[in-house]
Chains A and B, each alone.
Chain A
Amino acid sequence: MRAEGVGIHYLFDRQQRTVSPTVAHIRRPGGDNWALADVSLEIGTGEAVALLGPSGSGKSTLLRTIAHVLEPDTGTMVTEGRLGSLLSIQAGVMAMLTGRENTMLLGVLSGMTPKQARAQMDEVKRRSGLDKHYERLVASYSQGMRARLGLSIMERTDPQILLLDEIHEALDHEFRDHLENYVNDLLAAGGIVVATGHDHPMLERFSTRALLLEKGRVVADGEFSEVQADYLGERTG
């Protein structure tokens, strides 16, 4: 996975709503912001990278750019391998669909054929431990249940690059252990993990490297403990 000079640019109208460049021509401008600016990095196989930094520093934006959810406004982002991501607070599942219907939809969107996605349904139900809730609307789920469903579906798509944005913090202890084991297995198989969150002890357990982001720029890159010390040192002055 390689990023070269990646920038993500947000434009706002006068009411501070995010607008696309096309609409920015029509509406009165309200300023702009580079959520990521000139980010260059390379992550090799078997690496687990933790993204550290204060809220609004660009951690989530970087994860979404790696996932190709956001496309760079400058620079290039190249990823090789199947992506699995849990990046939104809803864990990437649709509230008005049941667990089973989400499995079908997300399975197909992730690259499975409908037949393959259908074949995974009972396994996702078992792994997520949702039991009868699996047949109910996700709108009735707690955040932790959504995270379990999202994680169980994502696992079945067999990703080589795993992206996690705080979502693991919604999981209960049993599922956190499960996630850590899964991450370790993925890394042992030559996969890549990029994660962010405020649970530093957990990030430290599986990370081989950390990046510190500040105002959309990577300001430190190295061993987790060193980068964490930079971050915490800055915060405490």
Chain B
Amino acid sequence: MNDLGSRIAPLTRRLQILLALARSDLHIRYGRGRGQLIQWIVDPFALVGVYLLLRLMFDRGGEAPGLMLACAVVPFQIILFSCISAMSAVSLREPILMNMSFDRMLIPPSSVVTESLAFAASFVMFPIAMIIYGVGPHLSLLWLPVVVAVALILALGAAWPAALIGLWFPAVRTLASQGLRLLFFAAPGIVALSEVSDDVERWIVYNPFTGLFESFRHVFVYGDSPAFWQLAYPAAVGLALALVFVPLYRREERHFAKLVGDN
């Protein structure tokens, strides 16, 4: 029992630090009080509204267009905001980085934890859109924990390189976030995969967002199981990013105080 306790203690400690970092991040990025929750809920609605207008302007109404868009916007938000947050996560903590030693490996995951709360709040969209369009609920909702896990794996994997890019090349932070937005449009974000031509589909499937968006659509719109590749490919990309960038981040974190220092 004691042995188990001594094994769990470091994990508990890391979890406490992770949550403390995420909590402070949350206050800095989203403020305090009820306004926080309202902002999280309203933001994805606003984004879906904009894309919905875009679809209608191009005469691409389709089946349950708002719900189809939500299936892309909601998972995309967690990846985009985790990366944006991670890009400034190290420099944001300059006062404490310059003052004390702590587990700096937890900085990128703390960005994902922070944005996960906004991600969770944005799920309010789904039941509302399903009621509006008279879709489901289907048994495929049982797949929800799996597709959410895939989104989080991809967000976590992308947070490590994002943190390094933000630190190494702070001038390209905006460009990098625009690059991610570009990937949204280079995936079936505004239109479903079934609506794109075969030529486009041939290369669009290499974008990890394609599988992610489509797996959300299977769960909420189509009412069946996501295809294996739709889950496996984005998860594999997330794991591959972590595999490459976690060791690199570990090597770099010992130099953080030099890079953000006020010397």
Contact = CB atoms under 8 A, between A and B. Distances in A.
Interface of A: 8, 10, 18-23, 35, 60-61, 64, 67-71, 83, 85-97, 101, 104-106, 108-110, 113-114, 117, 150
A67 B262 contact: no
Given A20-B168, A97-B28, A105 B23 contact: yes
Interface stretch (B33-41, B98-106, B233-241): B98-106
B16 A96 contact: no
B96 interface: yes
Contacts of A96: 27-28
Interface string B18-49: 01110110011000000000000000000000
Contacts of A105: 20-21, 23-24, 96
A92 B101 contact: no
B248 interface: yes
A61 B258 CA distance: 10
Contact of B252 (A22, A93, A109): A22
Interface in B6-22: 16-17, 19-21
B258 A70 contact: yes
B251 interface: yes
Contacts of A93: 95
Contacts of B27: 96-97, 101
Contact of A114 (B20, B24, B102): B20
A71 to B, nearest CB: 4
Contacts, number: 101
Interface string B160-192: 000000001000000000000000000000000
Contacts of B96: 92, 94, 105-106, 109
Main secondary structure of the interface of A (DSSP, over half): mixed
B100 A83 contact: yes
B263 interface: yes
Given A18-B259, A20-B168, A92 B98 contact: yes
B261 interface: yes
Q: Would you list the 8 A-B pairs with minimal beta carbon distance, nearest first?
A: A92-B99, A68-B101, A108-B20, A90-B95, A88-B98, A71-B254, A20-B255, A96-B28
Given A92-B99, A114-B16, A70 B23 contact: no
Contact of B263 (A60, A90, A95, A150): A60
B102 A109 contact: yes
B12 to A, nearest CB: 9
B258 A18 contact: yes
B95 A85 contact: no
A73 to B, nearest CB: 9
A67 B16 contact: no
Contacts of A23: 168
B262 A89 contact: yes
Given A87-B98, A108-B20, 4 more contacts: A94-B93, A97-B24, A97-B27, A105-B20
Interface in B69-120: 93-102
Contact of B99 (A87, A95, A104): A87
A18 B167 CA distance: 11
B26 to A, nearest CB: 10
A69 B100 contact: yes
Contacts of A22: 168, 248, 251-252
28 contacts: A18-B258, A18-B259, A20-B168, A20-B255, A20-B258, A23-B168, A64-B98, A83-B100, A85-B99, A87-B99, A88-B94, A90-B94, A90-B95, A90-B99, A91-B99, A92-B95, A92-B100, A94-B95, A96-B28, A101-B27, A104-B20, A105-B21, A109-B20, A109-B96, A109-B102, A110-B100, A113-B16, A117-B20
Contacts of B263: 35, 60-61
B168 A69 contact: no
A95 B91 CA distance: 13
B171 to A, nearest CB: 10
Given A69-B97, A88-B98, A92-B95, A20 B20 contact: no
